[in-house]
Amino acid sequence: MTPEPVRIAVGPKTSELLGRAITRAGATLAELDDARALVWDGGPAGFPQRLPVGIEWVQLFSAGVEEWFDTDVFERHPDIVFTSAAGAFARSVAEHALAMLLAGVRHLPEQLRARAWRQAEFFPRIGTLREATVAVIGTGGIGGELIDLLAPLGARVIAVNRSGRPISHSAVIETVPAQRLSEIWPRTDHVVVAAPATPDTRHLIGKNELSQLKPTSWVINIARGSLIDTDALVDALRDGTIGGAGLDVTEPEPLPDGHPLWDLPNAIVTPHDSNPPQLRTVAFAEHVADNVARFVAGRELNARIDVAAGY
């Protein structure tokens, strides 16, 4: 007897790309009331107040889910498994982080602004990632991809994760648990922030942390703006406490016109575009296809949200 196909709903509206991803993974599209799972291609606004009793799993579109914790969605559906898109966009975001770090270390922002030959001035300030120590805070999908990209450049990585579980990689010289984060600041040359936004990670980097870095250190944030104290960062950039900062995310966001970060020569600000739509939609469809195939086969789903941990 042929087993009944697994029915998956898509909301708030379907798309041909997601529909193909679901069917090629071995499931079939269905209306919400007849489905076992829901792929939600949107934010919290408009999410159903109540899901049908047959729904076992919900796939969310975003990798960062802090805005979902500002709602009562998880409390309303305690028996449903929720997964995020964590890891789906990792390569694109990791490439962006590396681009900003290299631009900073090679002193490109000010060189790009130059309108005269200033070789003698720039030479002493240009660095390299070869044998530099880079602290990667958060070793999930993005952090893991970034470590892969740093390895061929000869960088040495201090990996920081919540558990301290060792990261087995040729570039990783040490794995540090999050509770020992205070130990890394004087020991690293540069910092890349790739951790989730939770109450515990708010202003993870502030005045005290910045003061322990080197005057040549670059701080890169491709996670969420709330992880860095913006006022403290501006002061550190102005004072030369650190070499510079590359920010694809800011607090506040969008960064207002006239904000000091726009004018500081040692700041690179990009408008949260490390994961642009033309790359994001395809990557999300691939993530959905993989998780649907896992769901159909009864296997563990990728990027399951830990409600207690906050991500």
109: tokens are 């922002």
Each residue of 278-293: pLDDT tens digit?
Answer: 999 999 999 999 999 9
Q: Is residue 304 a part of any domain in this protein? A: no
pLDDT at 2: 58
pLDDT at 14: 87
How many C-beta atoms surround the C-beta of residue 109 within 10 A? 17
Q: Is residue 307 a part of any domain in this protein? A: no
126: tokens are 């240009």
**Number of independent structural domains in the chain:** 2
Contact 243, 104 (CB under 8 A): yes
pLDDT tier at 3, thresholds 50, 70, 90: confident
Instruction: Give the C-alpha separation, 234 to 259, whole Å.
Output: 10
Percent of the chain predicted with pLDDT > 90: 93
CA dihedral 274, 292, 140, 149 (to 10 degrees): -60
> Do 149 and 217 sit in the same domain of this protein?
yes
> Do 98 and 123 sit in the same domain of this protein?
yes
Each residue of 146-172: pLDDT tens digit?
Answer: 999 999 999 999 999 999 999 999 999
Q: Is residue 303 a part of any domain in this protein? A: no
pLDDT tier at 1, thresholds 50, 70, 90: low
Instruction: Give the C-alpha separation, 125 to 218, whole Å.
Output: 13
> Do 74 and 123 sit in the same domain of this protein?
no
Helix (H, G, I), strand (E, B) or coil at 269: strand
The edge-to-edge listing of strands for the beta sheet with 57-60 is 27-29, 6-11, 37-40, 57-60, 81-83
Secondary structure element (H or E) that encloses residue 91, with its range: helix 90-105
What CATH code is carried by the domain that includes residue 148? Answer: 3.40.50.720
Residue that has been written with the tokens 């936004």 in this structure: 197
> Do 46 and 157 sit in the same domain of this protein?
no
Query: What are residue 297's phi and psi, to 5 degrees?
Result: -85, -5
How many C-beta atoms surround the C-beta of residue 53 within 10 A? 8
Show which residues are catalytic. Answer: 224, 253, 272
pTM higher than 0.85 for the full model? yes
Q: Is residue 28 a part of any domain in this protein? A: yes
> Do 257 and 287 sit in the same domain of this protein?
no
CA distance to 87, 143, 192, 222, 228, per residue, from 196 (Å): 12, 11, 13, 10, 12
> Do 167 and 195 sit in the same domain of this protein?
yes
> Do 79 and 127 sit in the same domain of this protein?
no
Q: Is residue 306 a part of any domain in this protein? A: no
Secondary structure element (H or E) that encloses residue 185, with its range: none
Each residue of 64-103: pLDDT tens digit?
Answer: 999 999 999 999 999 999 999 999 999 999 999 999 999 9
> Do 160 and 213 sit in the same domain of this protein?
yes
> Do 81 and 115 sit in the same domain of this protein?
no
Exposed e or buried b for every residue in 7-28, given b needs 16+ CB within 10 A? bbbbbeeeeeebbebbeebebe
Q: Is residue 308 a part of any domain in this protein? A: no
Tell whether the model's pLDDT for residue 20 goes beyond 90: yes
Contact 301, 124 (CB under 8 A): no
Q: Is residue 148 a part of any domain in this protein? A: yes
Instruction: Give the C-alpha separation, 142 to 186, whole Å.
Output: 24
> Do 53 and 191 sit in the same domain of this protein?
no
Burial class (CB in 10 A: 0-12, 13-18, 19+), 239: exposed
Instruction: Give the C-alpha separation, 181 to 162, whole Å.
Output: 10
Instruction: Give the C-alpha separation, 24 to 188, whole Å.
Output: 45
Instruction: Give the C-alpha separation, 24 to 110, whole Å.
Output: 49
> Do 55 and 156 sit in the same domain of this protein?
no
> Do 61 and 139 sit in the same domain of this protein?
no
pLDDT tier at 125, thresholds 50, 70, 90: confident
Q: Is residue 309 a part of any domain in this protein? A: no
Domain ranges, residue 288 = 7-85+277-297
Please give the single-letter amino acid code of residue 156. R
